[in-house]
Amino acid sequence: MEARDTIGAFGVRGAERPPPSLEAPSPRYGERLIKGLLGAAAFLSVITTTAIVVSLLIPTFDFFTKDDIGLGEFLFGTNWAPTFQPSSFGVLPILVGTLSTSLWGMLFAVPVGLASAVWLSEYASPRQRKVVKPVLEVLAGIPTVAIGIFGLVFLSPLVAEVLPFMVNVPPFSAGVAGLAIGLMIVPIIASISDDAMRSVPSGLREAAYGLGATKMKVATRVIFPAAISGIIASLVLAGSRAVGETMVVLLVAGASPNLTFDPGSSVLTMTAFIGQTATGDISTGSITYDTIFAVGSLLFIITLALNLFAIRMVRKYREVYE
Amino acid sequence: MTSHTGAPGTERTRLATSGARAVTLRQLSSQPRADVWKGNIFLAVLLFAVTLALAGLAAIILQAAIEGAPAFSTKLFTNGPSTVNPEEAGFRPALIGTLYLILGVIFLVVPLGVAAAVYLEEYADGERWWNRIVELNVQNLAGVPSIIYGILGLAFIVRGPLDLGFILAAGSLTLALLVLPTVILASREAIRAVPPSIREGSLALGATQWQTIRRQVLPAAIPGVVTGVILAISRAIGETAPLLLVGAATFVTFNPTFTGDNGYSALPVLIFNYASRPQEEFRVLAAAGVIVMLIALLAMNSFAIWLRNRYEQQW
């Protein structure tokens, strides 16, 4: 970008004599065509987003107009029974179900992930780092269906044994689903927070040591606050992943739309509702079909807000230190 | 500690030096006892957290290996699924379905992802609002939940404008859109890592911009791009939620094709179905399927990381 500006400046300085042309002698249509094609590929992402928004909006619009469900009834209703007679479309139970599993997941993942990040960035020797970080990244690639099976077959009986209040009706429980989600998002928090803490200039670190601060004080009072926007970004991204997670909750959280934050209760989340209902052959335009899209819209809005916030926070720490 | 001060190594000099050293260090680095204790406890907490994270994730692999071992045989690869007879059930159509899905994803995602990355890094003027929108868009798409892509696939690809029906190609297209942002972001990183001096040298010799990109920038960026593609593919292999919506059925007993409208199946979808059955035998079968999937994934991911370390160039 700056290179082009210098070329412009060059032209102004040599204004008395016409400067030698920097353009190629032929118009180079091929070059322009290639640039156009590459630009079209990049623009495909905008089309994807537009397609997502349009495909969500149209059936959602039908949901509120043709199927005549009130927006207030949808957002604040406390009874979720879209496929029963008489049906009821209060989204609060499945919204709270989503928040509940995400909350329990974050409760596990935030301390564990942040502590891992502090260790990786401030305490680990280069050799330990070189082993632990890639291992965490590889483990972050474990498919969520495998994590769900682990939660269902291993974690759930274990937790029911140790902390009975966490599993009311075995093997389904929001708390155990949260724990499995927590395992899934620990690598995200650890990896991004570690990057943020390592991008704090070492001058700050050395100055603090020079003033006689202990290692723990340097980590908690200097590095951690200095990296806070990156750390918040990692937490928000992890939260967004937890809210959007489907397979773990389908397998472990059960499928009862209970309006509760009780970790032992079985809950239905927004993603689980979509995954469970959309598998059958539902006909386009039916009220069930529209319901899936209305719930999808709500989910999309929540994760969009979280993602945009996280992207801003990442930009902020890049601006400060890079 | 090798401190060679004074005359080489009589026992007394060494003793004296280390004594003096210890006294000096003690004087200079004396910390209140409470701080030392707090520091140690803090480190212990950190180590506990790291161990917990690693152990928890390793337990997922171990548990699948132990649980699935009894069902692990060649039947998994040769037999089709079964609702009644878990001893004879296998994953063959699902494995082939996943293989086709991934081939489709590679075919779509490599050219599109690299092209978009080249445009954003080499051509796009970051000050222009449309380029900023594309950039923000890619970052945001990378965080959209996979089930939303399933909804997109259902409304836009299976039905709606493209109207492909519940065929394997529709699943492939959905997965490709899902991992495209990952490929773009990784390819951009790789292209950005090629130093500007390479480009300037090539341009100064009279090469056009596209010649510079094709002959200089892309070859240098290949290891990074390949790493990104492998990581994206391994994500696509394990994705289950969007496939549930775009018609990956469970009990397909014949080998699928790209456009055949008799339905298709995929490995993670069949694993999910087996796992949600109440019978113990099916859960064992699901665990065996998880092993197959994890072996493929861990091999691919490890290869990607090896590739990254092997070809990480210091310019």
pLDDT in tens, A122-166: 999 999 988 898 888 887 888 999 999 999 989 988 988 888 887
Residue B201: pLDDT band with limits 50, 70, 90: very high
Whether residue B159 is predicted with pLDDT greater than 60 in this model: the reply is yes
pLDDT at A10 over 70: no
Q: Which of B139, B145, B208 sits opposite A24 (nearest CB)?
A: B208
Q: What are the two backbone dihedrals, phi and then psi, of residue B10, each rounded to the nearest 5 degrees?
A: -70, 155
Our CA-based measurement puts residue B237 at a distance from the nearest CA of chain A, in whole angstroms, of 8
The backbone torsions φ and ψ at residue A280, rounded to the nearest 5 degrees and listed phi first, read -70, 170
pLDDT tier, A1 (very low <50, low <70, confident <90, very high otherwise): very low
Backbone Cα Rg of chain B: 28
Average pLDDT over every residue of B299-313: 79
B231-259 pLDDT tens trace? 889 889 988 899 988 877 767 777 777 77
Task: Tell me what the pLDDT averaged over chain B comes to.
Answer: 85
Chain B hits for A46, Cβ within 8 Å: 133-134, 137
Contact between A158 and A260 under an 8 Å Cβ cutoff? The reply is: no
Distance, CA of B283 to CA of A55 (rounded, Å): 36
Residue A49 touches partner B, C-beta closer than 8 Å: yes
Amino acid at A297: S
Closest-CA distance of chain B to residue A269, Å:
12
Return the pLDDT at A6. Answer: 47
The helix/strand/coil state of B258 is coil
Return the amino acid letter for A106.
Answer: M
pTM as predicted: 0.85
The complex scores an ipTM of 0.85
Q: Tell me if residue A271 falls in helix, strand or coil.
A: helix
For A217, phi then psi, to 5°, come to -65, -40
Residues from chain A contacting residue B287 (CB–CB below 8 Å): 149, 153
How confident is the model over B178-187, as pLDDT tens digits? 999 999 999 9
pLDDT digits (tens, 9 = 90+) for B128-154: 888 888 888 998 898 899 999 999 998
More confident residue, B302 or A220: A220
CA distance B219 to B229: 15
Q: Which of B57, B132, B135 to mutate to test the interface with A (most CBs of A within 10 A)?
A: B57
- Asked if B125's CB is within 8 angstroms of A1's CB, the reply is yes
> Residues A277-315: pLDDT tens digits?
877 667 777 888 888 899 999 999 999 999 999 888 888
8 A C-beta contact, residue A89 and residue A69: yes
Percent of chain A with pLDDT over 90: 41
SS3 B8: coil
Percent of chain B whose pLDDT exceeds 90: 30
Selecting from B50, B61, B119 the residue whose C-beta is nearest the C-beta of A41 gives B119
| Interface check A171 vs B, CB under 8 A | no
Mutate to test the interface with B, among A38, A121, A184, A197 (most CBs of B within 10 A): A38
**A268 has a chain B CB within 8 A of its CB:** no
If you count residue pairs, one on A and one on B, with CB atoms under 8 Å apart, how many are there?
A: 271
Residues of chain A numbered 106-165 and touching chain B (CB < 8 Å): 111-113, 115-116, 118-120, 123, 132, 134-139, 141-150, 152-154
Identify the pLDDT of residue B1. 45
State which residue of chain A sits closest to B138, comparing Cα positions. Answer: A45
B69-79 pLDDT per residue, tens: 888 888 788 88
Q: Which of A135, A145, A243 should we substitute to test contact with B (largest number of B Cβ atoms within 10 Å)?
A: A145
The count of residues in chain A is 322
Q: Which residues of B touch A295 (CB under 8 A)?
A: none
Which ranges in chain B belong to alpha helices (H)? Answer: 11-28, 33-68, 75-78, 92-118, 129-141, 146-152, 168-192, 196-204, 209-212, 218-238, 241-245, 267-275, 280-310
Mean pLDDT of A262-290: 83
Nearest residue in B to A136, CA atom = B54
B214 vs A34: CA distance, rounded Å: 11
Amino acid B8: pLDDT? 57
Q: What pLDDT sits at residue B29? A: 65
Instruction: Place A320 in a pLDDT band, splitting at 50, 70 and 90.
Output: low
Q: What is the CA radius of gyration of chain A?
A: 26
Q: Other CB atoms closer than 10 Å to residue B258's CB: what's the count? A: 15
| B42 — pLDDT class (breaks 50, 70, 90) | very high
pLDDT reading at B172 higher than 60: yes
- Is B315 a residue whose pLDDT tops 80? no
**pLDDT at res. B78:** 80
**Hey, are the CB atoms on B301 and A138 less than 8 Å from each other?**
yes
Residue of B nearest to A296 (CA): B148
Could you tell me where the DSSP H helices lie in chain A? 2-13, 29-64, 71-76, 92-118, 126-139, 144-150, 156-162, 174-198, 202-210, 215-217, 224-226, 228-244, 247-252, 270-277, 287-321
Token look-up 């493209």 returns B162
Residue A217 has pLDDT above 50, yes or no: yes
* Nearest residue in A to B301, CA atom: A138
Residues of chain A with Cβ-Cβ distance to B154 below 8 Å are 278
